[in-house]
Structure 1
């Protein structure tokens, strides 16, 4: 057991002088950067841009519209929509009207959407389109608190003053009329918000049970943004590409950083457009979950393998050289002249083309929400693309630790944000304390008491360690660690991420074996990657199920499993495995909206198959 604690060397006194709330933070940014670009978003095939002043004008009208509907301090307003410019406008309007945003993923089913909006007692709901509106209409009787639904793209009828469903423009018109009678009301309201007032209610998608509403205060978000700003990581000259779900705390914290630092953000939540958008937008940084980097890595690797010949040989040799140069530099050793010469050549022939796929201007990516495989991180680094891993959870407003572009250790999630603390508690559990910690779970006092200590430490449920420099390494979820019948402990995430680095076709790799005499695995392959493989191997047009059941794919995956086993301890090796006939998806209920595997759901649905491994 260790009580080792860590905090950064930056003077933490900035915490005593934080902007009072998110609304004032936004208004101050509008005043300071009025004519600078704030947001960029797609309109058809082109991108439209708005300044901070233009965004501020829209937010003021929408906030006034909410006030005209009778919204009171800390009353909840739901947003059920994908990541888009209007999501940000709605959220900022709620902040400026002193309400509290309640987030709902657009993929959430009608029953869970109703549960969240009902539990939060939402007074108004922003609903993206007819599909989201339909969920609410079908359960209107169970949503007695919802007085208005405001849709971004959905159909509306009749009088905005009387109809239940109105449009975003209708809300803005209500706001204009309200402002005419109450000039200055939005700024007055914004400046009345206390730092400890509820700002956001984020319902954790959860890998088990009903989602829990996490109560996050204005000071949490202001602190998160300011803690990034004081490190001089980002400034007004940067351009972010934002695709992450804004219903997730990782997406929301990037908005806090934008308000604090003043950079512009290009927004498009369509995951299938990420790589194309990067080439057009040419951002300087982006936040993403590891799955995005895994898919990009796999796509590039398989494309090169498909080309074969001299190009593939040059590609492989380039990364051998790149990884060797990186290793020497990390060890503080000089790079031999000839090796350095080769590296320069390969940078022009190979690495520059990899960087260009991501727009060519990326200074760094930020990876969070799950562990990034170190080998994949090293591969990107060899190509001149820096991925900074960070760590946090919804319960601490997303950001607890993060590596710095000028001071990072690959394989770690960095030191704590300045002004915050990390310590290692009993059973090597990571514990957090600081201005970013939640006020508790909504309507769940017993759950809150189990998670927060009396002196303000948050139990994360993650196992980790701190090195001598205060850099945190996460080794897995305490609940996910299991012991074999032979008494050996196994950390599934470590094994699973290793397989993804080895097999470019892998989508998911789930390890089982608690209280069993050996370890087994369920495997899913990436449908896009397998479609490419099928074209190269005489199975073009075949179904995913037929492809993964083919003898050729079984043999190929078996070879990758053997390669994995060569990197594991004897008691960790995979003795039996099977490829599932479908990939895991959010829609199937096997992934959370933030792309984490619902391990218990997958295990339950494949119980007979797993049992057969041990029969």
Structure 2
């Protein structure tokens, strides 16, 4: 319901809470609920070290292993309140160590595999990490190169890595771990997650046991069909250092479903084929890549026309635009020729993909729903312990990020900035009261920095970042995300950054997708060429201009892209231009390619 709220903000939209927090409700308490009620439930399927088998792990077995790891961590010198860093790829062991540490009050500090030495040094120092657990000697060497005062040791999870932790706990009495566990409360600090951020030094987001409990149990109730039904199987391949992957693991662990882990996307299609998920956690770029790869593989000429026709039928099927025998026949043909091949890639059992991290194009959402895969968009930040709003299966609006989850309040400032409140909001940034005060007010409202709109039913649409809003020299406000999201749907486009702040018109920096380029050239009967040559090729430039023209047709002339340039190379995590969740670090791009941006406007200055 809507509640009246005065001042500089519009009326909040609130959803009544379905979960209440009490002091005893901690992460181990939450896990033990499934353990007590269904001790023989298989909660995880662990990928075998060799081959493609998935080995079942019951909640009882997981609980026993976690207890042993808890004692091992104590044996290695950690106590409640101490910080443990996990610097490793997504895996069963990552989650096991996470739960083991949290269960005895140890604060877990995730480190992304892509973090630089300087970022790692900052994280270790700021959170006063005492133990680092990593999965490779290379990662361990990186930690040693920036070793900080107070770091006791680094454990490498090689063939016997867990064994060494188990052995460290042999002399620790179970009663010691039990005592630490009993002393936990919902206010106990659980984790410090350093936001990769698109600008500035990473800030450590503090999240409590209560934050995790509220978010996990609330989503389990509100998204029951998605994650809390017998037979639910979720495959995690995004980094567990990211809050969304980590919180989804807790959904699976504490519900009725099963979780699988893989350490990246290198063998994702094969992993999907053997695990057979019913749901995937994705970022929009993964879905865009999947669609573009399917289009490229369709070939050229007649086959490409058939692919595009089938995708048009899929979009119409989702929008329920047509009915009758003719359209039913078209669906059958489209499914046989094209749709079935796409659904085979995702696994025939996969019905849902949960998309977070950035808005996904409405058309792409309709296409996937039309072929049988419903993409559920959600919205949240590290500071909100995952989702704050979400669509629900059977109750969602395409192009929005859904309604507030129960117990959450959403409101907009006069400038359209999204404010959030609820028990899942962080208590603050680690050792950074100034930054905390900038985003959290006395009434508990969190300023997200995102700009959006709310419809009359409470569905939220994110239109961009407030700091990224472009104001042209003519005074026109332009939300770059609207243009960028549409352009990234073209198979030739890897990344886009729209520019034009205090400039006479809107321009764009574009990177060419090196993976998609060969297939696109072949399908258009063009000779093979590299990215640098493609950046000068008239056919490639004309195709990009047509994509820009289609994008411009959906906005006003003042907001339209007048000129573009192709940037050499691409934006990646390795070169510091993408975050681990594949968001562009806009400020760094603008800084690095400042000269190229100036060239976009040179002709205009000469004319003047």
Q: Describe the superposition over 1:430-453 as per-residue Cα deviations: whole angstroms up to 9, x where unpaired.
A: 111111000100110011111101
Match of 1:319 in 2: 311
Match of 1:186 in 2: 177
**Given that residues 24 and 184 in structure 2 are in contact (C-alpha distance below 8 angstroms), is that contact kept between their aligned partners in structure 1?**
no
Q: Does 1:423 align with 2:411?
A: yes
Shift, 1:230, TM fit: 1.4
Partners of 2:587 and 2:574 in 1: how far apart? 16
SS in 1 for 2:67: helix
**Given that residues 78 and 130 in structure 2 are in contact (C-alpha distance below 8 angstroms), is that contact kept between their aligned partners in structure 1?**
yes
Match of 1:372 in 2: 360
Partners of 1:19 and 1:368 in 2: how far apart? 31
Change (3 A) 1:113 1:317: same
Q: Does 1:308 align with 2:296?
A: no
Match of 1:112 in 2: 119
Q: Does 1:48 align with 2:39?
A: no
Please say which of residues 101-110 and 231-240 is displaced more in the overlay.
231-240
Unaligned runs of 5+ in 2: 1-7, 603-608
**Given that residues 390 and 413 in structure 1 are in contact (C-alpha distance below 8 angstroms), is that contact kept between their aligned partners in structure 2?**
yes
Q: Describe the superposition over 1:495-541 as per-residue Cα deviations: whole angstroms up to 9, x where unpaired.
A: 0011122x12211111000111111111012211113335555644x
Match of 2:284 in 1: 290
**Given that residues 85 and 108 in structure 2 are in contact (C-alpha distance below 8 angstroms), is that contact kept between their aligned partners in structure 1?**
yes
**Given that residues 40 and 47 in structure 1 are in contact (C-alpha distance below 8 angstroms), is that contact kept between their aligned partners in structure 2?**
no
Shift, 1:608, TM fit: 0.7
Match of 2:186 in 1: 195
- Could you state the TM-score of these two structures normalised by the residue count of structure 1? 0.92
Match of 2:144 in 1: 137
For 1:104-503, what aligned pairs fall within 5 Å after superposition? 104-140=111-147, 143-153=148-158, 167-178=161-172, 182-231=173-222, 232-233=224-225, 234-235=227-228, 236-304=230-298, 306-309=299-302, 311-328=303-320, 335-501=323-489, 503=490
SS in 2 for 1:520: strand
Unaligned runs of 5+ in 1: 155-165
**Given that residues 238 and 245 in structure 2 are in contact (C-alpha distance below 8 angstroms), is that contact kept between their aligned partners in structure 1?**
yes
**Given that residues 590 and 602 in structure 1 are in contact (C-alpha distance below 8 angstroms), is that contact kept between their aligned partners in structure 2?**
yes
Determine which of 56, 64, 67 is the counterpart of 1:60. 67
SS in 1 for 2:69: helix
Shift, 1:18, TM fit: 8.6
Partners of 2:52 and 2:320 in 1: how far apart? 44
Shift, 1:286, TM fit: 1.1
Q: Describe the superposition over 1:126-181 as per-residue Cα deviations: whole angstroms up to 9, x where unpaired.
A: 122111110122223xx121112111128xxxxxxxxxxx9331111112332xxx
- Could you state the TM-score of these two structures normalised by the residue count of structure 2? 0.93
Please say which of residues 404-413 and 130-139 is displaced more in the overlay.
130-139
**Given that residues 77 and 122 in structure 1 are in contact (C-alpha distance below 8 angstroms), is that contact kept between their aligned partners in structure 2?**
yes
Match of 2:3 in 1: none
Partners of 2:245 and 2:319 in 1: how far apart? 33
Please say which of residues 487-496 and 337-346 is displaced more in the overlay.
337-346
Please report the RMSD computed on the Cα atoms of aligned residues, expressed in angstroms.
2.0
Change (3 A) 1:127 1:326: closer
Partners of 2:514 and 2:333 in 1: how far apart? 35
Match of 1:161 in 2: none
Match of 1:525 in 2: 512
Shift, 1:338, TM fit: 2.5
Partners of 1:327 and 1:108 in 2: how far apart? 42
Partners of 1:261 and 1:379 in 2: how far apart? 30
